[in-house]
Homo-oligomer: A and B are copies of this chain.
């Protein structure tokens, strides 16, 4: 979701300060269900399970014959907004979709409720609501053209282009209009949409963002991840395939292939960090992939030490794998405060300065005099990693060896990931040795790109001619040209080199 138009409607109540969590972030999660009683409750639960994909805001749309389309959109967590009886009663019907969104870096505190999905459009043949995970790379250009032809945009979201393209389509059904619209957009899109009687799921040809299909009794479910099926007791059927559109009614599921065939390249970072460890992605348990990354790391970059400590919670599976492979004991040297929320509200300077201590603490007596292998999933700006290392050394650790469960993060992502600018990425500015010095650790090793591919099941590592995944943040190899960003001055790898 990128920002274009000059109207801003700030969410004023949200005087919050984001944690310096120094991670890449998935920008959205989507969910839809059809053929169940009180669809809204299931959508709420599904979004709750997908909360890690977006914490800023969420929305639900449902439909029944008596009340038509009903919508609710809110800032904040699903558990705080979408679980109360009084709210869910405003969302009757057996069909519904929902969306959670992350606040993008540029728009922190700048989001208005009108930017919150699902978006709704009324067409001559009836209404439709859509929820979009991913980012369109030609949205600026499309927006200019649509405005030139009389479209009124209500949000700053790239996703709104899809609704306007549908409105201008000559297609006679909403699925036809959606096909026509999505053929004009470029970038990453996993879309869940609904009409009065149909639930629609689409995944872009490369399948960059995930989307899965499940069964709940007589009903059918679409969700970004399988963990959202588990929470409602739904059975996982299969993934929506890259380039596939499914049109689901209470009676049947139809599958279409509206796009030209290309080799899929799902985003490899879903395994590294975005997806929940209990989700299954591409037939592989995310937890087991992460544990395998840890094993590969131990094979690639062994070191003598007394314990393996994860940076909780994201480094835990890889640390378990590293420990299992190396035989060095796995220990909880760092403990996470479970009461840290997404934010503190307007903290004083003194509190802000406590930084990482507000969420992490070390086990002093455990670390004292020990050689410690720290495992984290990634290094982005490096600021948090340095603070954690400081805490470990202040606790009396003899040595700190840093092992990172992803290759160096060098390039920006344009397909729906929130991350700092390239200038802020530590690995974009320093060699590995410079990073080691900057972090002040005895050794620093990232998993190799081939090791990462091996962990996700590619035995021969990455095939540079034909890579199986979207991995541009590590390689600069963009599967879709980021037109909007090039227009704004971004230089892709070949141009940059």
Q: Which of A's residues lie within 8 Å of B, judged by CB?
A: 5-10, 12, 15, 38, 41-42, 44-45, 48-49, 51-52, 55, 61, 67-73, 77-80, 83-88, 90, 112-114, 120-124, 127, 129, 147-154, 163-164, 167-168, 227, 230-233, 276-278, 280, 284-285, 287-288, 291, 313, 316-317, 320, 323-324, 329-332, 335, 337-341, 344-348, 350-351, 354, 357-358, 361-366
CB distance from A235 to the nearest CB of B (A): 11
B38 near A361 with CB under 8 A, answer no
B150 near A122 with CB under 8 A, answer no
Contact of A351 with B45 at beta-carbon distance under 8 Å, contacts A5-B127, A339-B79 already known: yes
A330 near B330 with CB under 8 A, answer yes
Contact of A339 with B77 at beta-carbon distance under 8 Å, contacts A227-B361, A230-B357, A351-B83 already known: yes
In the complex the two chains form, what is the Cα distance from A346 to B12 in whole Å?
Answer: 14
Q: Which single member of B8, B12, B151, B350 contacts A150 (CB below 8 Å)? A: B151
Supply 18 further A-B pairs (C-beta < 8 A) apart from A9-B73, A49-B337, A278-B363: A7-B71, A10-B72, A15-B86, A45-B351, A49-B361, A55-B339, A79-B341, A83-B344, A84-B347, A86-B346, A114-B114, A149-B150, A227-B361, A232-B354, A276-B361, A320-B330, A324-B329, A330-B330
Q: What are 13 A-B residue pairs whose CB atoms fall within 8 Å in the complex? A: A12-B87, A84-B347, A85-B348, A150-B151, A151-B151, A152-B152, A227-B335, A230-B357, A231-B358, A276-B361, A277-B332, A291-B331, A338-B338
Contact of A285 with B366 at beta-carbon distance under 8 Å, contacts A12-B72, A348-B38 already known: yes
CB distance from A440 to the nearest CB of B (A): 19
Contact of A12 with B288 at beta-carbon distance under 8 Å, contacts A122-B147, A163-B152, A329-B324 already known: no
Q: Which single member of B55, B83, B231, B291 contacts A347 (CB below 8 Å)? A: B83
Q: Which single member of B8, B84, B148, B329 contacts A71 (CB below 8 Å)? A: B8
A8 near B67 with CB under 8 A, answer yes
CB distance from A396 to the nearest CB of B (A): 13
Tell me the nearest residue of chain B to A196, going by C-beta: B6
In the complex the two chains form, what is the Cα distance from A80 to B346 in whole Å?
Answer: 10
B285 near A83 with CB under 8 A, answer no
In the complex the two chains form, what is the Cα distance from A313 to B127 in whole Å?
Answer: 45
Tell me the nearest residue of chain B to A40, going by C-beta: B348
B351 near A10 with CB under 8 A, answer no
Tell me the interface secondary structure of chain A in the complex: mixed
B113 near A287 with CB under 8 A, answer no
A233 near B357 with CB under 8 A, answer yes
| Copies of this chain in the oligomer | 4
In the complex the two chains form, what is the Cα distance from A77 to B79 in whole Å?
Answer: 15
CB distance from A114 to the nearest CB of B (A): 6
Q: Which single member of B51, B71, B152, B339 contacts A122 (CB below 8 Å)? A: B152
In the complex, chain B residues whose CB is within 8 Å of the CB of A79: 339-341, 344-345
In the complex the two chains form, what is the Cα distance from A368 to B317 in whole Å?
Answer: 18
Tell me the nearest residue of chain B to A154, going by C-beta: B154
In the complex the two chains form, what is the Cα distance from A72 to B114 in whole Å?
Answer: 11
In the complex, chain B residues whose CB is within 8 Å of the CB of A347: 83-85
Tell me the nearest residue of chain B to A342, going by C-beta: B339
CB distance from A232 to the nearest CB of B (A): 7
A363 near B69 with CB under 8 A, answer no
B167 near A152 with CB under 8 A, answer yes
CB distance from A38 to the nearest CB of B (A): 6
In the complex, chain B residues whose CB is within 8 Å of the CB of A77: 339, 341
B7 near A127 with CB under 8 A, answer yes
B154 near A167 with CB under 8 A, answer no
In the complex the two chains form, what is the Cα distance from A90 to B164 in whole Å?
Answer: 29
Of residues A48, A49, A351, which shows the largest number of chain B Cβ atoms within 10 Å of its Cβ?
A351
In the complex, chain B residues whose CB is within 8 Å of the CB of A15: 86
Tell me the nearest residue of chain B to A6, going by C-beta: B68
In the complex, chain B residues whose CB is within 8 Å of the CB of A284: 365
In the complex, chain B residues whose CB is within 8 Å of the CB of A12: 72, 86-87, 90
B339 near A51 with CB under 8 A, answer yes
Would you list the 10 A-B pairs with minimal beta carbon distance, nearest first? Answer: A6-B68, A278-B335, A150-B168, A51-B339, A285-B365, A150-B167, A84-B346, A41-B350, A154-B154, A9-B71
In the complex, chain B residues whose CB is within 8 Å of the CB of A361: 49, 227, 230-231, 276, 278
Tell me the nearest residue of chain B to A367, going by C-beta: B285
CB distance from A253 to the nearest CB of B (A): 23
A288 near B150 with CB under 8 A, answer no
